[in-house]
Structure 1
Amino acid sequence: MISTQAWADARKLWDFHQMHHEPRPCSVAVGLGSHDLGVADTAVDFYRRGMVPLIVFTGATSRTTEDRMPRGEAIHYRERAVALGVPAADVLVEPQARNTGENISLSRALLAEADVTVSSVLLISKPYEERRAYATARKLWPEVEIVSASTPMTFDAYVDSIGDASLVLDMLVGALQRLMIYPKQGFMIPQPVPDDVVAAYERLRREGFTSRIVADGTPAGR
């Protein structure tokens, strides 16, 4: 049973993880691979609305996607986009990345190799990964403007879509820990974390929502 306080703390982390950027037209959309096909659907929506002329999907597999997406996250995302009507020529695939840093650096290299001029990126992630993705991209791709985006949904709707509330709370805690420790390791730019968000994070850790916690010296991962 998840306590009332834990739910309140989780909602606080959820809100902080989102950048609340207003989507606008960009040079390209970059969809970060994960278990969530909603990333692909959101990229398609932006494409249909004329916000981007090109989509890059990036991601290999992880322990949470190897069964659901055996051909790789980016490839499954591309198949989804094409099935939804995006021309295949407008969807590039980067199938090697296994963490957020590689998502950014390998997508950047792919676009350079394809001779695509990029001044702005509509960076699409899971809702609770917006801030982490933004901070990583600003570190590794500083010369472009980064606009963070995700599938618009409430915290409760996201929990329902995953079907495992404890896992969602674990992921929120793990994402915040990375925001606090990865800048020191050079993986992302610092993001000031308000005291009330830190307090919520610490309470959730004490309640045992720690399956996505990493050791401070662990290389950047999902």
Structure 2
Amino acid sequence: MISTQDWADTQRLWDYHHMGHTPRPCSVAIGLGSHDLGVADAAVDLYKRGMAPLIVFTGATSPTTRERMPRGEAVHYRERAIELGVPASAVMVEPRARNTGENIRFSRDLLAEAGIEVSSVLLISKPYEERRGYATARKLWPEVEIVSASSPMTLQDYVDSIGDARMVIDMLVGALQRLLVYPEQGFMISQTVPAEVIASYERLCQGGFTSRLLQDDEGQALRGAH
């Protein structure tokens, strides 16, 4: 049973995970691979609005995408973009990345090898991964400006699209934990997490929304600096 308090806490995490950036024209758009084809749809929309002359889709496969996207996340994203009218010449594929850090590093290297100068990146992710993608890119590619973007959706819209409210809450909780833990591990920049967001996160953990939490060798959830 998901309580009214659970939903209020989830909404607070949802809001925090969004960077609140206004899309603007950038050197390139990078779509971060996942199970969600909405990332490709958002990239297409932004391309058609003139926000980037080139799209890079990045991502291999994972246990959650292997059956749905057997050719790899980036390849399926590219096929989706072309189906929606983006010229094939405007879409590059980075098919090896298996985590957000590799998404950023491999895309950066692909563009450098192609001789494409990049001063700004329109970084497109799932709605609740905006802040994680931003923090990772700022750590690994500090010399470029990062503008975060995702499909404009409410929390309820996203839950409806996934069809599993508990899974969505678990994912939001897991994403918040990584914002707390990963800076200490050198994977992303540290960001201020408001006390009320921490309180919501901890209540949701206590409520059992923990399937996406990282654990230590003793099976305890990792805790970062609050």
Place the TM-score, normalised by the shorter chain, in its bin.
Answer: over 0.9
Deviation at residue 67 of structure 1 after TM alignment: 1.0
CA distance, structure 1, for counterparts of residue 86 and residue 50 of structure 2? 12
Q: Where do 5+ consecutive residues of structure 2 fail to align?
A: none
Deviation at residue 216 of structure 1 after TM alignment: 5.3
The correspondence of residues 48-63 of structure 1 with structure 2, limited to 5 A, is 48-63=48-63
Who is 2:122 aligned against?
122
For residues 89-137 of structure 1, the C-alpha deviation after alignment (integer angstroms, 9 at most, x for no partner) is 1100000000000000000000001110000000000000000000000
CA distance, structure 2, for counterparts of residue 128 and residue 85 of structure 1? 27
CA distance, structure 1, for counterparts of residue 107 and residue 216 of structure 2? 26
Runs (4+) of structure 1 exceeding 2 A deviation are 215-218
Give the aligned residue type for 1:153: M
Q: Secondary structure at the match of 1:182?
A: helix
- Asked if 1:94 is matched to 2:103, the reply is no
Q: Where do 5+ consecutive residues of structure 1 fail to align?
A: none
Who is 2:66 aligned against?
66
Give the aligned residue type for 1:53: P
Q: 1:149 to 1:216 in 2, by over 3 A?
A: farther
Deviation at residue 215 of structure 1 after TM alignment: 2.2
CA distance, structure 2, for counterparts of residue 214 and residue 73 of structure 1? 23
Who is 1:177 aligned against?
177
Give the aligned residue type for 1:124: I
CA contact (8 A) 1:27 1:118 kept: yes
CA distance, structure 2, for counterparts of residue 192 and residue 216 of structure 1? 24
Who is 2:28 aligned against?
28
Deviation at residue 64 of structure 1 after TM alignment: 1.1
CA contact (8 A) 1:60 1:97 kept: yes
Work out the number of aligned pairs and report it: 218
Q: Secondary structure at the match of 2:197?
A: helix
- Using the size of structure 1 for normalisation, the TM-score is 0.97
- Using the size of structure 2 for normalisation, the TM-score is 0.95
The correspondence of residues 1-222 of structure 1 with structure 2, limited to 5 A, is 1-215=1-215
CA distance, structure 2, for counterparts of residue 79 and residue 141 of structure 1? 27
CA distance, structure 2, for counterparts of residue 163 and residue 67 of structure 1? 18
* RMSD, aligned α-carbons: 1.0
Q: 1:213 to 1:195 in 2, by over 3 A?
A: same
CA distance, structure 2, for counterparts of residue 111 and residue 212 of structure 1? 32
CA distance, structure 1, for counterparts of residue 170 and residue 66 of structure 2? 20
CA contact (8 A) 1:56 1:107 kept: yes
CA distance, structure 2, for counterparts of residue 102 and residue 216 of structure 1? 22
Give the aligned residue type for 1:204: L
CA distance, structure 2, for counterparts of residue 86 and residue 153 of structure 1? 23
CA distance, structure 2, for counterparts of residue 63 and residue 194 of structure 1? 33
Give the aligned residue type for 1:173: V
CA contact (8 A) 1:181 1:216 kept: no
CA distance, structure 1, for counterparts of residue 143 and residue 89 of structure 2? 26
Percentage identity across paired residues of the two chains: 75
Give the aligned residue type for 1:130: E
CA distance, structure 2, for counterparts of residue 216 and residue 192 of structure 1? 24
CA contact (8 A) 1:123 1:133 kept: yes
